[in-house]
Structure 1
Amino acid sequence: MKRHSHADRNAPVSPARHWRIAMVFGGILLTLASSAVIAVGTVARRVVTPAHSRFRESDVLAIDAENGTITLGSNPDTRLPGRYGLFYGEPERYLRLGRILRSSGETVTRKLETPPDGLPASGPATFSGWYFSRPEELGIEFRDIDVPTPAGNAPAWLFPAEQDTGRWVLIVHGRGTTRSECLRAVPVWREAGYSALLVSYRNDGDAPPSADGLYGLGDTEWQDVHAALDVAVAQGATAVVLMGWSMGGTIVVQASLRSSHAEIIRGVALESPVLDWTRVLEFQADAGRIPVPLRLAAITAISSPWGRVLTGLESAVNLHGLDVVSRARELTVPILVLHSDDDGFVPSSGSHELAAARPDIVTFSPFTGARHTKLWNYDEVRWTSAIRDWAETLD
């Protein structure tokens, strides 16, 4: 074996070897940096990318066609009392679910209100709070109209009031869903004398996509609600309420603050609303165990011009401008907030803080046990009464 002398150990390292070492460490650092950038971009882009498929979080275990029942795996949603819906089967069908008949630790059996003809006996499904999936199911006169938006003609459903009072309500759905989410709200508004316009907006699957095909989280979609206000005014609207569900809450609040039709907006009704995106993203990052440095970098990427290379957004999202809680003093019209404290997706803390900041204009009706955007399903009587009573106070 060759022995190395003391002189050998202290011999200078050649420049070539220095260069090779530097190249190795540089490659490692570059790989780590590239991985970090990719991770930030992945998280950030997930926030602004519309969903193209449903998350199958429920399992249909059995359908009893003879008795008209359906048995589901038990989870926090399927255990909720009330009436709901279910996306199920291939091709996909929307099933209406009635009351709970039996419940154990593992399964929930509910009344199946949709004929089970041709349905598979079991399989993955998506639980839904819609209940109604098509406007015809309400048994109320309606017509299809187009709203000319900056992205193109966006389809909408118009349910005219029985008598023309000039009062309209524009109802806006949330992220990853469609106008059908809002059908539950039509009866109470028509009973209050309002024509109800259920709108679509860019990238929701009904309306045309934007140039980047990505959500602006309300920072761009409010323009489509402004276009719907143009249509309402052209058809005789003189007093308008804006109602939004979840991200639709962000959209309608932005429309109330930024639309040139602000003078005819008499109120804003919010169901499970996103009032501060940073708060929501932090909440969801905690649930997903996303490391703090990664989540902060992703939020910064969404809201910074340099982040567009990672997100694909045409323009950065002004998250600070979408923070309604910090901008509470700028709000001028009456606001109704309906939110469940166990929402599970959008924390209700923003709703509580907004109500505390503006008790002069905010009416807050907190729920418990109803989860996200399922307040009507959970307690239809209370939900309907809250809207009806609040609407009576408007000019």
Structure 2
Amino acid sequence: MTTPFLNRNSDQSQRSALRWLALGLGAGAAAGTLLSVASSGLAVYFARRIVVPQNAPEETEILHVQGFDDEMVIHLPATTDTIVPGRYSLFFHSGRGHARIGDIIEYDPRSRTVARAVLAVDSGDLRRARWGHWSGVYYTGPEHAGVLAEDITLTSDIGDLPAWFLPTDAAQPEDTWAILIHGRGGTRAEGLRAAATLNALGVPAILPAYRNDAEVRRGKASRYGLGDTEWLDIDAAIEHALRSGASRVVLFGWSMGGAIALQAASRGRFTDRIAGLVLDAPVLDWFNVLDRQARVNKLPTPIARLVLEMITQPWARPFTGLDTPLDLKRMDWVTRAAELDVPVLLIHSKDDEFVPIEPSLSLAKVRADLVTMPEYDRAMHTKEWNVDPERWSDDVANFLESKILRRQDG
């Protein structure tokens, strides 16, 4: 799950950022520089939107819930999210409630509403909910995904990190394990969409929390590294896997999790143990993503450039709160394509509204020797599994069996 980090709807936050910057500049700012100060204030606001973790807003209106508990139907406004077929989640009551939503039952183009099946309510009272957060994170726990799990603790440079270990019930487990890395604004539950596929293949898996996510935040001091820092926690997960019986690992990454996976594979202590990568709507080039978001939010070019400078230059640390500037060039894998040295499965829908597909297409073209990229459309951002779980699972299984796994005889 990925939450948009450029949002034009918070006027109060923008005004607060402007006041904060004006105070930081001191009383010497003359009236003639007011426009420049205003522009800088907006840049501060958007730069902080990029790096400051926030909970996903509940912006989907729940119009009506009808039927009995085992045959409930939910009525929602028809939006670009709610009219896409497949299976999804609806989080409500500030995330304390969760329902699994199924396919479309009825669509009314006149009222612009849609009715969908409610497959399960895992927590909370959906009938009392009025607003929710629509998500592709379908399972909230291993028990809902129907797989065995153990709670484990990983140790990174920032301390202890919670994680799930998913053993396999296969008679002969693979010696290649999977590390499942969720996206920006998400939790380790995002990786549970791959759990059944990996279990069927006999591949054990670790789903770690990492710094700055909802489970490992340092209060208001947390700042996303966009992959430039979080990879250290994945390095700890790889170490745990190797100490627990794995010979090699394959890294799965959704959205920003893809950026994290690539950094762990190229900068970690165990680069020689990385067998491959499975990347779903990955951020391969942050410059491309940020440029897209700037255009969506209609930011003037000078402000967009200032936003970029604020997250990459030391002088802006007092405004962004970053411990160190982010090295976005180091996370540009279109430019670094020649450095790839393991097989990669790239899953990316053509209509991704958040992470543009073009860098993925470029990487698949220039590294056709290593990159497998099936075509997906109408799945938007990281929802390929939700739209067609059977196809997603087949693509992942075929890739792992043909490129990664060492099948045991007998």
TM superposition score normalised by structure 1: 0.90
* 3-state SS of 2:116 partner: strand
Q: How big is each residue's C-alpha offset from its partner over 1:113-142, in whole Å with a ceiling of 9 and x where there is no partner?
A: 225973345511111111111111122211
Q: Does 1:219 align with 2:228?
A: yes
Contact 2:44 2:319 in 1 (8 A): yes
Q: Does 1:63 align with 2:65?
A: yes
What is the distance in 2 between the residues matched to 1:117 and 1:240? Answer: 37
Judge which range, 200-209 or 366-375, deviates more: 200-209
Structure possessing the higher radius of gyration over alpha carbons = 1
- Which runs of 5 or more residues in structure 2 are unaligned? 1-27, 405-410
Letter in 2 for 1:132: Y
In the superposition, relative to structure 1, how do residues 367 and 37 fare at CA in structure 2: closer, same or farther (>3 Å)?
same
What is the distance in 2 between the residues matched to 1:298 and 1:280? Answer: 13
* 3-state SS of 1:376 partner: helix
Q: Does 1:84 align with 2:94?
A: no
Which residue in the other structure is 1:44 paired with?
47
* 3-state SS of 1:299 partner: helix
Shift of residue 164, structure 1, vs aligned partner: 3.5
Quick one: which of 81, 98, 118 aligns to 1:94? 98
Quick one: which of 104, 107, 114 aligns to 1:108? 114
Q: How big is each residue's C-alpha offset from its partner over 1:338-380, in whole Å with a ceiling of 9 and x where there is no partner?
A: 0001010110111001101110100012311000111001011
What is the distance in 2 between the residues matched to 1:135 and 1:107? Answer: 32
Letter in 2 for 1:350: P
Which residue in the other structure is 1:129 paired with?
136
Quick one: which of 283, 287, 291 aligns to 1:278? 287
Shift of residue 212, structure 1, vs aligned partner: 4.4
What is the distance in 2 between the residues matched to 1:26 and 1:222? Answer: 41
* 3-state SS of 2:375 partner: strand
In the superposition, relative to structure 1, how do residues 219 and 211 fare at CA in structure 2: closer, same or farther (>3 Å)?
farther
Shift of residue 56, structure 1, vs aligned partner: 2.3
Q: How big is each residue's C-alpha offset from its partner over 1:96-121, in whole Å with a ceiling of 9 and x where there is no partner?
A: 11111101221110111225973345
Quick one: which of 134, 142, 147 aligns to 2:149? 142
Q: Does 1:300 align with 2:309?
A: yes
Instruction: Tell me the matched-pair count.
Output: 371
Which residue in the other structure is 1:383 paired with?
392
What is the distance in 2 between the residues matched to 1:119 and 1:81? Answer: 21
Shift of residue 300, structure 1, vs aligned partner: 1.4
Which residue in the other structure is 2:320 paired with?
311
Quick one: which of 193, 197, 203 aligns to 2:202? 193
What is the distance in 1 between the residues matched to 2:44 and 2:219? Answer: 20
Q: Does 1:236 align with 2:245?
A: yes
What is the distance in 1 between the residues matched to 2:234 and 2:376? Answer: 28
* 3-state SS of 1:365 partner: coil
Letter in 1 for 2:394: S
User: C-alpha root-mean-square deviation of aligned residues, in Å?
Assistant: 1.9
Contact 2:148 2:168 in 1 (8 A): no
Shift of residue 211, structure 1, vs aligned partner: 10
Q: How big is each residue's C-alpha offset from its partner over 1:141-160, in whole Å with a ceiling of 9 and x where there is no partner?
A: 11000110111111010001
Letter in 1 for 2:49: R
In the superposition, relative to structure 1, how do residues 310 and 26 fare at CA in structure 2: closer, same or farther (>3 Å)?
closer
What is the distance in 2 between the residues matched to 1:125 and 1:184? Answer: 21
Judge which range, 203-212 or 328-337, deviates more: 203-212
In the superposition, relative to structure 1, how do residues 122 and 238 fare at CA in structure 2: closer, same or farther (>3 Å)?
closer
Which residue in the other structure is 2:188 paired with?
179
Which residue in the other structure is 1:31 paired with?
34
What is the distance in 2 between the residues matched to 1:286 and 1:366? Answer: 26
Q: Does 1:119 align with 2:126?
A: yes
What is the distance in 1 between the residues matched to 2:29 and 2:184? Answer: 42
Which residue in the other structure is 2:164 paired with?
157
What is the distance in 1 between the residues matched to 2:246 and 2:146? Answer: 24
* 3-state SS of 1:256 partner: helix
* 3-state SS of 1:113 partner: strand
In the superposition, relative to structure 1, how do residues 379 and 179 fare at CA in structure 2: closer, same or farther (>3 Å)?
same
Q: How big is each residue's C-alpha offset from its partner over 1:74-103, in whole Å with a ceiling of 9 and x where there is no partner?
A: 001101111111012367301011111101
Letter in 2 for 1:392: E
What is the distance in 1 between the residues matched to 2:218 and 2:225? Answer: 12
In the superposition, relative to structure 1, how do residues 303 and 210 fare at CA in structure 2: closer, same or farther (>3 Å)?
farther
Contact 2:147 2:195 in 1 (8 A): no
| Misfit runs of 4+, over 4 Å | none
Q: How big is each residue's C-alpha offset from its partner over 1:153-201, in whole Å with a ceiling of 9 and x where there is no partner?
A: 1101000123333210000000001011110111111212210111110
Letter in 2 for 1:232: A
Judge which range, 357-366 or 59-68, deviates more: 59-68
Letter in 2 for 1:318: D
TM superposition score normalised by structure 2: 0.87
Q: Does 1:343 align with 2:346?
A: no
* 3-state SS of 1:340 partner: coil
Contact 2:99 2:126 in 1 (8 A): no
Contact 2:92 2:129 in 1 (8 A): no
In the superposition, relative to structure 1, how do residues 259 and 72 fare at CA in structure 2: closer, same or farther (>3 Å)?
same
Letter in 2 for 1:85: S
* 3-state SS of 1:97 partner: strand
Identity score, percent:
38
* 3-state SS of 1:101 partner: strand
Letter in 1 for 2:374: S
